[in-house]
Chains A and B, each alone.
Chain A
């Protein structure tokens, strides 16, 4: 926290880069928005309780392959937790935040 505060008073190099006219690619900005939407859909659906990937796909309307990609990524980054295995599929839930 203290480190973040220290940095906030320093002029960011990313700001200087933007001032030089370098901008993010519009398709990346769009992709990032889409990603946030998908992650929210998945997390909202898991608020009701643990689900398998086909169950998440069915609840959100997303393709199961897309759900797998996001769920496995979110597990890797500690945002979702794998649970019990039922009939060949694991169930996933929102990770409990530490502290």
Chain B
């Protein structure tokens, strides 16, 4: 690995905000080390079908950056790598990283997929939230960057077929974790968000977890990020929008907003800020894909606060999507495998029971390991575990430690434009800091 001993900036997280920050800082002439814990960069955005309210293709926004990052002469990208320790020495940071073993020699792998073809073991595919399987030897997804295979040794039966099939002799089962020590001048935290696990809301009947749907007893109750995949042009099935319970084209679907957000009983009292709008967008995409389909959205309030959001909401309402102001008490599954929503309609005061082909739980957002990374970095978090912004109005990207900045949803739930704006704020504050320290 051609790792230099020193970089100007370490970016932690290769989602959209991390890629944006890396490219902009590198374009300004600084040496950037981008570290991503997953085997590919791209974050959540590459899994999304379209963004709201413009319905622009999310892949078309993300893939140019995913392609540009590894090619940039001022960026060193380390995927499948985690930050283990950070020590501030004077104005600089000494960082210990651990690159996890891929069991594939990255420099040799040509991403041909032969190892995946011959591997006999199926594992729920993370990129598809478990809707289909991948192999134990696999490329994370079609547009992965870098497009390199890895072996999931935990789920490998060690048959050696992948190693025999590899045309480049790139498989190495003797690979081990590698420790890397670097010194950096500044750090940008862009660790993003995680999803609320809907099985914690027991009354909603989601019996799988975020990745294992094939052993889910109520497979027609799914979460919104699974539905996002079902709606995407690169969907896991051969066509968009079939239900996981039996492959049927769903004719009646319902969305349940605020699943795992604004809910003190589940420890997440804050609004996730994106669930209303992504559900409205998904309802539009669903009715576009299945013109005879009926979509209902159960909501407490519609929070259409951003530019163009209210107009988008009104347009979708006029197109025939039904909005029910109410609280869903529970979701049952009947003998046909169809979910039945039991809800109090706030406008009529009645308890209503309605049967659907599929129910989508619009899950909230949670911090993505920011408590752990905050501990390593020594920065403060807010009461909910997001990276704290001590001067949110004056210097929004500053953290409690000088020289460490924060970008995107590491600070809390937000939509894409806000995430990019905060990434760019982190870039400008980080560059200003580097120049100040240098002078």
Contact = CB atoms under 8 A, between A and B. Distances in A.
Interface of A: 3-4, 7-8, 10, 12-18, 22-25, 28-29, 31-32, 35-36, 52-54, 57, 64-73, 75-77, 82, 85, 88-90
Chain A interface helix/strand/loop/mixed: helix
Contact of A24 (B156, B165, B214): B156
A56 B157 CA distance: 28
A77 B137 CA distance: 13
16 contacts: A12-B160, A13-B172, A29-B157, A32-B120, A36-B120, A65-B213, A65-B244, A65-B337, A69-B132, A69-B133, A76-B236, A82-B238, A85-B249, A88-B251, A89-B248, A90-B239
Contacts of B157: 24, 28-29, 32
Size category, B interface? 35 or more
Contacts of A36: 120
List the 8 shortest-distance A-B pairs measured between CB atoms, nearest first.
Answer: A69-B214, A65-B219, A64-B246, A53-B247, A13-B173, A73-B133, A14-B160, A17-B173
A73 B167 CA distance: 25
B164 A7 contact: yes
B233 interface: no
Nearest to B152: A28
A12 B213 CA distance: 35
Chain B interface helix/strand/loop/mixed: loop
B122 interface: yes
A25 B123 CA distance: 14
A31 to B, nearest CB: 8
B242 interface: yes
Contacts of B238: 72, 75-76, 82, 90
B400 interface: no
Given A3-B167, A35-B121, A64 B172 contact: no
B169 interface: yes
Nearest to B249: A88
Nearest to B122: A35
Nearest to B244: A68
Nearest to B135: A77
B246 A18 contact: no
A52 B246 CA distance: 9
Contacts of B214: 65-66, 69-70
B131 interface: yes
B167 A28 contact: no
B241 to A, nearest CB: 11
Nearest to B245: A65
A25 B121 CA distance: 13
A25 B245 CA distance: 30
Contacts of A7: 163-166, 169
B164 A72 contact: no
A90 B242 contact: yes
B239 to A, nearest CB: 7
A16 B249 contact: no
Contacts of A24: 156-158
Contact of A69 (B154, B213, B337): B213
Contact of B171 (A13, A22, A89): A13
Nearest to A15: B160
Nearest to B155: A28
B133 A65 contact: no
Given A68-B219, A76-B132, A13 B248 contact: no
B63 to A, nearest CB: 20
B237 interface: yes
Nearest to B121: A32
Nearest to B162: A14
Contacts of B236: 72, 76
Contacts of B133: 69-70, 73
Contacts of A23: 158
A62 B74 CA distance: 54
Contact of B237 (A15, A25, A72, A88): A72
B244 A69 contact: yes
Contacts of B216: 65
A64 B165 contact: no
A71 to B, nearest CB: 7
Contacts of A18: 158
